[in-house]
Amino acid sequence: MDATQTPRSVSFCGHAVADGRTLSVPDALLDERFADNPLVTGEPKVRFYHGVPLIYEGHALGTLCVVDHRPRELTPEVERSLEILAAQVVSQLRLRRRNRELEVQSTELAIQRRFFDMSLALLSVIDRELRFRLLNPRWEVVLGWALAELADRPFLDLLHPDDVERTLAEAARLTEQRRPTVDFETRVRHRDGRWITLSWVVVLDGDAFLAVAHDLTSYREKAAALAESEGRLRAMIETAADAVITLDAHRVVEQVNPAFTRLFGYAPDEIVGRDASVMVAPSHHDDPTARFDLADDEERRRRPFEFPALRRDGTLFDAEVMVAPFQLGDVVKVTATVRDISERRRAERRQAEFVSTVAHELRTPLTSVRGALGLVDGGVLGRLPDPAAEIVKVALSNTERLVRLINDVLDLEKMRSGSMEYRMAPTSAAAVIEAALAATEGFARQHETEVVVVGEIPEVEAELDKDRMVQVLTNLLSNAVKFTPAGARVELSAERTSDRLLLRVRDHGPGIPPAFRARIFQRFAQADGPATIRREGTGLGLSISKRIVDRHGGSLSFEDAPGGGTIFCVALSVRSP
């Protein structure tokens, strides 16, 4: 027969499956159930059918059948053979299903075994006699014993003697009550003799204990070390001479140390929960720095800043603050260290006043000395012998350097006291550049260096004090000349942007050392370099220049020049056309 399947509505097998009994049709044309069946009247012209149902777990899955084109009668032996064959088919189906179940179980068991082996916990199966029957590899890592050394070994052999009685009592309780053991701690001997503290969770499953243990030793060692570290840190904070304040993300005080109470006069319960602005003079409440709001100012967070601090009794003092943000989860908090620098400021003022007084007292006689040496050097006494002329030139040079130093010191004192006068007036960029070039020409010639203007000077005016801005540009040009090798040139350029005038001075020197950059604008700051260069400067020029530019509302910055050297840039606001 070519047919491999038939519709169930006309199939012979459907009757056998529905009844669950063997169906035998010797001649379909003589059987009223099938005489007009299309499988009988048409292809494949079935005349004989004998089907044995395949019964599996109480359900008929199909039939094992014999079909012929001619009428037939089967002998009892043949019918019995077909029944046996049908039983074998059912057995094969049952075996195939069991194989599939075993494959699934084998896969699941392999996965479980991998998890068992990969677990960071110590997993084990222990029998009623408290012998190890199964352990995962974590036991080797934590206790140092090979698994083969622990297999079938009594668990009590590894226990600390003081823990044996407790463990036996807990095993008896678990066996009797069958309630899981949770957080039961024992000390187990490491292979090297150390005692490792384990915390256990144990359940009774049939005749075996299923146990999960965690190593508490390293955790407790770390916890003890952390507690010790926290204790030392707390002791340092509690005994610190400076006030230490912890603020939340909104700059609300969370915690203070005893030094804070001594400095500000607030008891902890009086200040905790209040805004940090209560510690700041009202005149500085709008200053983000004084409010400790430095979230977006990485540069300011790296160094101390100062502000007038307000005590509980209303008195003010000069405070220096160092801020250190730290993160707890998604929240950024701030630790601030506050120091009273009032005495330091008073000492600095006394020192500045002393230096200013000395400078004033020295300037007049030095001016006379410089004038006299200038006359002698100019030949007013006639031609001097060469050795004497050289001595006069050295004396004149050093006298002029002392005069510059005194003038710089006096300028700094005026800036500190706020008495520096600025005669602001509309001034062209060309006027400032021409004056600075003229002031630097002789100095550059002495160093065999040429100062050149690169590009066109824009026709632009800025509101500034011409003399002070010429002082700034002259200082930048002089520094560039000092650090540029003989025969090279210093470049000066000017650029107009939408609202700024940019004056740039480029040298071809060795560049600014990274370690010096943070303090380049501090007083008396000088980078390491050739002794001859260090002697020529006072270390005050850049500090004064920075203050002058700041007073003009501008900025003074520097950057590495392409190919070597440094570029200093003065940025000033320009007048609208």
Backbone angles phi, psi at 404, to 5 degrees: -65, -40
Question: Residue 296 pLDDT more than 60?
Answer: no
Residue 535's pLDDT is 41
Identity of the residue numbered 34: F
pLDDT at 45: 82
Side chain identity at residue 550, one-letter code: D
CA Rg value for the chain: 49
CB 555 within 8 A of CB 571: yes
* Confidence band for 54, pLDDT divided at 50, 70 and 90: confident
**How far, in Å, CA of 284 to CA of 307, rounded?**
8
Averaged pLDDT of the chain: 83
The yes-or-no verdict on residue 302 having pLDDT over 70 is no
The span from the CA of 225 to the CA of 238, in Å, is 20
Handedness of CA 155, 159, 164, 170 (dihedral sign): negative
Domain 240-340 listed as CATH 3.30.450.20: yes
**34-43, 106-115, 221-230, 328-337, range with the lowest pLDDT:** 106-115
Instruction: Find the DSSP H helices in 51-204.
Output: 76-118, 138-143, 147-150, 161-177
Gap between the Cα atoms of 372 and 395, Å rounded? 11
The kind and range of the H/E element at 253 are: strand 253-256
Q: What is the arithmetic mean of pLDDT over 190-198? A: 91
List every span in the chain annotated with CATH 3.30.450.40: 8-98
- DSSP H or E stretch at residue 489: strand 489-496
CATH 3.30.450.20 intervals, the chain: 119-220, 240-340
Q: What is the pTM (predicted TM-score) of this model?
A: 0.43
One-letter amino acid at 244 equals V
The answer to whether the CB of 93 falls within 8 A of the CB of 54 is yes
CA distance 99 to 103: 6
Which of 84-93, 140-149, 302-311 has the highest average model confidence (pLDDT)?
140-149
**308: enclosing H helix or E strand:** strand 305-310
Confidence check: pLDDT of 433 > 80: yes
Residue 203 has, within 13 A of its CA and on its CB side, a CA count of 3
CA geometry: angle at 417 spanning 413 and 423, to 5°?
85
Q: Give every strand in the sheet of 122-127, ordered side by side.
A: 132-135, 122-127, 208-215, 195-205, 181-189
pLDDT band of 534, cuts 50, 70, 90: very low
The torsion defined by the Cα of 371, 377, 379 and 384, in degrees rounded to 10, comes to: 140
Structure-block tokens of residue 24: 């035998």
CA-based end-to-end distance of the chain? 107
CB 366, CB 402: distance < 8 Å: yes
Helix H or strand E segment including 151: none
**What is the Cα–Cα distance from 197 to 213, expressed in whole angstroms?**
10
pLDDT at 55: 84
* CA-to-CA separations, 471 to 63, 411, 466, in angstroms, rounded: 113, 11, 8
Report the distance separating Cα 271 and Cα 256, nearest Å.
8
Residue extent(s) of CATH 1.10.287 domains in the chain: 345-417
Select, from the ranges 49-63, 118-132, 156-170, the one with the highest average predicted confidence (pLDDT). Answer: 156-170
Strand partners, 567: 506, 559
- Cα–Cα dist 405/421, whole Å: 19
CATH homologous superfamily of domain 425-573?
Histidine kinase-like ATPase, C-terminal domain (3.30.565.10)
- Asked if 180 and 202 touch (Cβ cutoff 8 Å), the reply is yes
How would residue 81 be classed by pLDDT, with cut points 50, 70 and 90? confident
- The burial class, CB within 10 Å (0-12 / 13-18 / 19+), for 263 is buried
Least confident of 193-207, 305-319, 349-363, 441-455: 349-363
70 pLDDT more than 60: yes
Residue 222 gets which letter from DSSP? Answer: H
Angle at 478 between CA 477 and CA 480, to 5 degrees: 65
Q: Give phi and psi for 452, each to the nearest 5.
A: -125, 150
Q: Give residue for tokens 């370690």.
A: 515
Closest CA to 547 of 395, 424, 399, 414: 414
What is the SS3 assignment for 51? Answer: strand
Assign a CATH topology to domain 119-220: Beta-Lactamase (3.30.450)
Lowest mean pLDDT, pick from 174-178, 300-304, 350-354, 462-466: 300-304
Q: Is 494 helix (H, G, I), strand (E, B) or coil?
A: strand
Q: For 280, which DSSP code?
A: B
Range of 79-83, 115-119, 292-296, 567-571 with top mean pLDDT? 567-571
pLDDT in tens, 214-253: 888 878 888 888 888 888 878 888 888 899 999 888 889 9
How far apart (Å, rounded) are the C-alpha atoms in residues 176 and 127?
15
Contact (Cβ atoms closer than 8 angstroms) between residue 434 and residue 453: no
**What would the 3-class secondary structure string for 120-158 be?**
CCEEEEEECCCEEEEECCHHHHHHCCCHHHHCCCEHHHH
DSSP state of 8: G
**What is the fold, at CATH topology level, of the domain defined by 345-417?**
Helix Hairpins (1.10.287)
Other Cβ atoms within 10 Å of 110 Cβ, number: 10
Q: Which residues contact 256 (CB under 8 A, 6 or more apart)?
A: 243, 244, 245, 246, 266, 268, 271, 272
Given a cut of 90, whether residue 536 has pLDDT beyond it is no
In CATH terms, the fold of domain 8-98 is Beta-Lactamase (3.30.450)
461 by Cβ neighbours in 10 Å (0-12 / 13-18 / 19+) ranks as middle
Type of residue numbered 66: V
What does residue 288 show for φ and ψ, rounded to 5 degrees? -55, -35
